[in-house]
Structure formats: structure tokens, C-alpha cells
Amino acid sequence: MSPDARTMLENLKIYAPNVDPELFEKAFRYSEKAHQNQARASGEHYFIHCTAVAETLIEFKLDLPTVCAGLLHDVLEDTPTTKEELEREFGEEIARLVEGVTKLDSLNFTSRDEAQAENWRKMMLATAQDIRVVLIKLADRLHNMKTLNYLSREKQERKAYETITLYAPLAHRLGMFQLKSELEDLAFQYIHPKEFEELSVKVRAITASREHALTSFRTTLEEKLTPTNMEYRILGRAKTLWSIYQKMKRQEKTFEEIQDAMGVRIITPTIANCYALLGIVHSEFKPVAGSFTDYISVPKVNLYQSLHTTIMTRHGDLIEIQIRTEEMHRTAEYGIAAHWRYKVGSEKSGKDEHLEEKLNWLRQWIEWLQDLKSPREFIESLKTDLELHQVFIFTPAGEVKPLPAGATPLDFAFAVHTEIGMMCVGARVNNKMVKLDYELKSGDICQILTKKNSKPNKGWLEIVKTARARSKIRHFLREKGIVA
């Protein structure tokens, strides 16, 4: 076994001590031989890319079949190897994972948009069957972005744009914040190179001065927390360059006006501790009005949970604080990969309800997307549903429905229930009548007005933003022979 293979296997055995070393070594050697005469744009051996993808999957702590599929993920696309050969050598599970990641370059499409949409449609279908497909694809994209400097400027811009509009939001939707942040910053430097460089210089310059404020804050905080005997740990947290840039644009502020570029996370074992720690923080430091958000009581769609608040120190520095449990932190870092790992690593615990909930959401969402016939419509709907900025809308009974930014009362109606959406004739937002294309804002209380015999019309397709609403409306209109 080569030194590289041995190192990867040792890292794999740290969390999966009973893996079959022979299967791993076989996949390693098979991929290395299959790609032996191939080189990347950088000039380096192609197989280095395959090992980089597998190493990322090991960082995610995924199972042996996924790691093997990572090593083999390009053999169907870039070598003469067939699926039958792969299945004969490695079994149906690994062959299916590799096929799910493989692109559709052999098909003829009328445009790049159509080809891209079909690739994503195929990947999403494969993902509905096995979430590991998309985790391999994300690991593949991460290494491709790290080596983007060897491609032409046109290819750099195209891949960076695709990464920031589709891959990074998909990682976010799956709760994989660490990966999402890395993909965003990698894409940022190619989409807006001038702004990226300027911001990098400013962040490096200010980091040293902010470090003093953070150290002072941590010292004071620990003095207050030690007597409580609560178990906790404090981690530093720096905003990514892309998130700072987005905030500057969104709030129309200069970098110097963005004061929460750095912050801390407080990790503790229990939810009760989270709220107790929040109380201590707010009693010792002045909270910034309107900065508190409770994602523990109302988790994000991707199951992210944490308490967020921004405080002002005695020296006038603003520091953003996130408070969460160890389990919430694991989910925030690795998202669905953490839940998959949990399921694989603890057979005795039975089903992981978080994983099942996330997979059910994903399967249903993919089912709605499959109903869209136009490739452009498919991609646009996918981007909308992956929208990072969500709005939280309340029913009159106080139930919260998260929707993508730009969603309308019609989207809300279908989110509450399909039948309510179908019979919708109007909406009241905060006790005022609004049009069905009204753009909802976080905190709105939306009441849907229905009429028993009311039915959707073709114009609704121009109003709705979510794949769910679009799919339901299109299905009804197709049955009536109104749309294809």
C-alpha cells in the first residue's frame, strides 16, 4: 500500500475502525490505474484530484462506500470503464454512487443552460435515492474550486458563478456551513477579484485590533461564567469575506461600518444552559436592539439551531455571539453529513430523526422540482428554493413558515396546505388586504382567504416563487389541459 493510501486509511479508521482495508486499497489502485495517462489543467496527475475528493469525504467522516466512490467518481466519465465493470468490481452500492455523480456530457443539448439543468436534475434524482451522491459532488466541486487558477478566465467566471449560485446555497440548505463558506470565498475571488483583494487587505489589517477586543471580552465573560459551574467552551469566529461583502451591499455600508466582522461562539451541553448563558451575556453587556434571533425555538429549514445576539463591550466594540449545544454545533459545521455519520456510527440508536426529517424534506423538494419541464425554469426554481436569505411568516395561530426571500402570500398558502393554496382568493397581511403578488417580509402575519370552488389560473405561475407552489399549480393546470 502506498504511503498516501495508508495515511487516508488511518484517518478513515479513526472514526470507522472496522472498515475493510482491502476494499479501500482496491478502489485506490483501480482509480489510480484508470487515470494513469491523464493530467489536469495544472499539469499534475489527474489521480491527485480523486484522492483530494476522498480526503474531503473522510473529513466529513463518511462511510467506506462513499470514500471509495469518491476515489472512483470520475472513472465512468473520463475513462473507458463501464457501470457494469464497476459493479462487478465494487458492488451495486458503490457503482450507483459513482453513476449518480457522473455528468451527462454524452447527451446532446440545445444550450449550456439546458445541459446544466439536466445535470442538476439527474444529480437531484440520485440524491433523492441516496444523500451521499450530493456529498461526493460537493467534495468534487470544492477541490475543483481550489485549483481554478489553472483554467481560462471565461471558465473561471462560469464555474465560480455556478458555485456561488448553486453549490454554496445547496451546501447551506444541507446545513454544511463550513463547506458553504469555503466555496463562497473561493468563488468570490474569481467573480469580483478587485473587491476580494481590497476586502482581504482590510480584514487582515483590522483582525489584529479586533483580537484585543475579543480577548478582553472573553476574559470578562469567563470571570462571570466560572462561578455558575456551567460547562461551556468559547470559540472565536470570523465572518467570511463573502458574507462581509454581501452585508456591505445589502445594508449599503462601507467595510468600516460593518462592526460584527468577528465574534464568538459559546458551546455548552444543554439547551437550558444556552438560555442561561444568554441571560448572563445580556446582563453583563449591552445587547444591540433588534440583534437577537432565536433559532433554537424556530430552527432554520436546514435544521440549523443557535441563539444569535450582538453586544457592545465597555470599549464600544460590537461582538456577535452565537450560543448553541454541542449537537447543534456539530450540525452547524457538517449539516446532513453529521447526521449521516451519526446514523452510521451508532447502529444501536436506531433512526436519527433529524436525518429522516432532512431527507424527507429533500425528497419532497426534489419531487416538486421534477415537475418543471423547462430547463431554465428548473434552474431558476432551484436557485429560488436554495435562497440563503429566508423570511419567517406567521399564521394567525402563531405557527411559523420559513420561505425564500421574495415569496408571496400564494407561496405561503401552499406552504400551509395544498388545499388552502388551491382555494386561495386573497390574503391579509398584518390585518390589511394585499395582492397575491405582495412580497412578504419576516414577522408578517399572513391570513389566507379561501373560497370553496376557487381554482388556480395560469397567471399564478408568474406570481409564485417556490418549487412546491409551482409544481402544485402546474399539475392542476396540466390536468385541465391548460398547460403542458
How far apart CA 236 and CA 255 sit, in angstroms, is 20
Q: Is 77 noted as a catalytic residue in this protein?
A: yes
- CA-wise closest residue to 243 among 290, 176, 196: 196
How far apart CA 327 and CA 163 sit, in angstroms, is 28
Say if CB 183 and CB 145 are below 8 A apart.
yes
Task: Tell me which residue has cell 397581511.
Answer: 429
Which of 4, 25, 78, 367 is labelled catalytic? 78
Say if CB 442 and CB 391 are below 8 A apart.
yes
Which of 4, 77, 113, 327 is labelled catalytic? 77
How far apart CA 421 and CA 466 sit, in angstroms, is 12
287 half-sphere exposure, CB direction, 13 A CA radius: 15
Strands (E) in 249-366, as ranges, are 262-268, 286-287, 293-294, 307-312, 318-325
Helix 271-284, helix 193-225: angle, nearest 10: 90
Residue type, 179: L
Those residues with Cβ within 8 angstroms of residue 183's Cβ, 6 or more apart along the chain or in another chain: 138, 141, 142, 145, 163, 164, 167, 168, 171
How far apart CA 325 and CA 187 sit, in angstroms, is 31
How far apart CA 270 and CA 106 sit, in angstroms, is 52
How far apart CA 451 and CA 15 sit, in angstroms, is 56
- Give the number of other Cβ atoms within 10 Å of residue 206's Cβ: 15
Q: How far is the CA of 160 from the CAs of 117, 298, 384, 446, in angstroms? A: 17, 33, 18, 38
Say if CB 403 and CB 440 are below 8 A apart.
yes
What are 380's three cell numbers?
A: 431558476
So which residues are the catalytic ones?
Answer: 77-78
